[in-house]
Structure 1
Amino acid sequence: MLQSRTLLGKAIIQIRSYSQAAAVVQAQAEAAEPQLLSNLEGFPRPDPKYDETILAIPRAISGTNTSIKERRAGRVPSIIFEQEDGQHGGNKRLISVRANQIRKLVNHLGRSFFLSRLFQIEVRSNFDSEADILEKVRVLPRQIHLHAGTDAPLNVTFIRAPSNALLKVEVPLLFRGEDVSPGLRKGSYLNTIKRTVKFLCPADIIPPYIDVDLSELDVGQKLVMGDLKVHPALKLIQSKDEPVCKIMGSRVSDQKKSK
């Protein structure tokens, strides 16, 4: 019992600390120049090619049996949460979305890129009723579970993303410059340590990805999170000293082949 109370106390402290950090970033963002809360030149922007409204219908109840029925009908049981501290949500709305639409988006974008992109959701009384729209809301996908064997979407969690929201986002990394990297041109290889990095982002400027420039890296050199070039309004949640990638020497197998 004492251990449970201790763990609960630590969890409350962590939530309070995170909420305080989010409040600080919010205050800094509100005090910043207006252009800092808009997309700036030189930073990645979402590709309009994948702008798409996700259609949804209300779902009255949750549970395993309901989820099974929804999937058999070609729908994915989903939830829309209000955002509270950028990560945890409240005031949930139960919905179902079309499985083929979610699968198409995940296949085209990739799972990590799907989870770092804003979408409009249109909740209708039924999918074919364009005139009976119950709600339109901008959201960020928070989680998606895929079937291990088929990659079929099993459920999706969305979080509301109004302009004043600060959201915790796992932003994917896009590595560039491998063809001109001095270390890689010498026959070394890239050790990729991180595929995504956590940022607290104003909703209007969530980056679809972050460019990682390898063009000047030589053997033994590395990039850490603090080296990443991102929009100034983004707040790095992880340590800036955590490594992202490193140019390693020749693989052991390659060294044996050369003898």
Structure 2
Amino acid sequence: MLIKITRSTLSKSLNLQLRCFSQAAAAILPDDPSAPLTYLDGLPRPDPRYDETILATPRASSGTRVSVKERNAGRVPSIVFEQEDGQHGGNKRLISVQTNQIRKLVGHIGRSFFVSRLFDLEVRSEFGSGDLIEKVRVLPRKVHLHSGTDAPLNVTFLRAPPEALLKIDVPLVFRGDDVSPGLRKGGYLNTIKRTVKFLCPADIVPPYIDVDLSELDVEQKILAGDLKVHPALKLLRSKDEPVCKIAGGRASDQKKSK
């Protein structure tokens, strides 16, 4: 029996291998391999309320004295790295961003959500200047905050062009605790992980992953492989790693709830 393989089919197959997508992604890839992926209905997508362009200026040098001077002037010393193969940094650009803007973003959406969300970054010769040096989409990779004041001390960004694959610790949001059978019986939620690492195409980075507790009973658990995500995301941990578990309540509590 001969199987006819068309050029179109072969192209799609190679595209999947090159972009490191799961086999399940083949069903939702667009006909045009160059077309961007899109978010799927029923899965979380970024809240447009927090779409914001991060403003920056170039920084000529680094070091402790320079960093102190920048912070005293209301700026956060930062770095932008390239995404050479979608995973490793290189070709860095030294920049400074505005302290108030970073503090506001981290405060509004939370630290773990800030470092799992893409932003536009505009680098200008000076803040408020019309001289645009670069505009690029970036992923905040790390943000260091002052232990006492939560003021941002420095930020590391990665360039995130459409073809990039990004290693991201995606935050988990637990829902359904009000109807969970195990919790209603007196059990308690043992949160084992608050983020799970995925390799994400830059066009469909999830802002978070919903974890449904509504059917979880006492001593039952949810594994990393149970999480519902876009099929083009690749889990970078064992699918058998537990995310959460309903630990048992006292026997007397369980009897009363029946």
Asked if Structure 1 and Structure 2 have the same fold, meaning a TM-score greater than 0.5 normalized by the shorter chain, the answer is yes
Q: TM-score range by the shorter chain?
A: 0.7 to 0.9
Structure 2 CA distance, aligned partners of 1:98 and 1:182?
47
Instruction: State TM-score, norm by structure 2.
Output: 0.85
Alpha-carbon spacing, 1:251–1:195, altered in 2? closer, same or farther (3 Å):
farther
Aligned residue-pair number: 231
1:100 is matched by which residue type in structure 2?
A: N
Q: Secondary structure at the match of 1:49?
A: helix
* Residue 27 (structure 1) shift: 5.0
Structure 2 counterpart of 1:8: none
The aligned residue for residue 226 of structure 2 is 227
The aligned counterpart of 2:106 is: 106
Return the alpha-carbon distance in structure 2 between the equivalents of residues 82 and 155 of structure 1: 18
Match of 2:126 in 1: 126
Is contact 2:21-2:234 (8 Å) kept? no
- Structure 2 unmatched runs, 5+: 1-15
* Matching of residues 57-96 of structure 1 within 5 Å: 57-96=57-96
Distance 1:224 1:24, change over 3 A: same
Whole-angstrom distance in 2 between the partners of 1:251 and 1:113: 35
Aligned match of 2:12:
none
Question: Higher helix share goes to which structure?
Answer: 1
Q: Which residue of 2 aligns with 1:163?
A: 162
For 1:186 and 1:29, the matched residues in 2 are separated by 38
Q: CA RMSD in A?
A: 2.1
SS, match of residue 142 in structure 1: strand
CA distance, structure 2, for counterparts of residue 28 and residue 177 of structure 1: 30
> TM-score, structure 1 length as denominator?
0.85
CA distance in structure 1 between the aligned counterparts of 2:136 and 2:22, rounded to whole angstroms: 23
DSSP-derived class of the 2:92 partner: strand
1:34 deviates by 1.4
Tell me the equivalent position of 1:203: 202
Which residue is 2:8 aligned to?
Answer: none
User: Runs ≥4 in structure 1, deviation > 6 angstroms?
Assistant: none
CA distance in 2, matches of 1:192, 1:28: 29
Report the CA distance shift for 1:27/1:197 in structure 2 as closer, same or farther (over 3 A): closer
CA distance in 2, matches of 1:158, 1:78: 8
Looking at structure 2, the residues matched to 28 and 208 of structure 1 have their Cα atoms a distance apart, in angstroms, of: 19
Q: 1:29 to 1:120 in 2, by over 3 A?
A: farther
Deviations 1:148-176 (A, max 9, x none): 11111000000000000000000000000
Q: Which moved more, 1:179-188 or 1:36-45?
A: 36-45
- Return the letter of the residue paired with 1:118: L
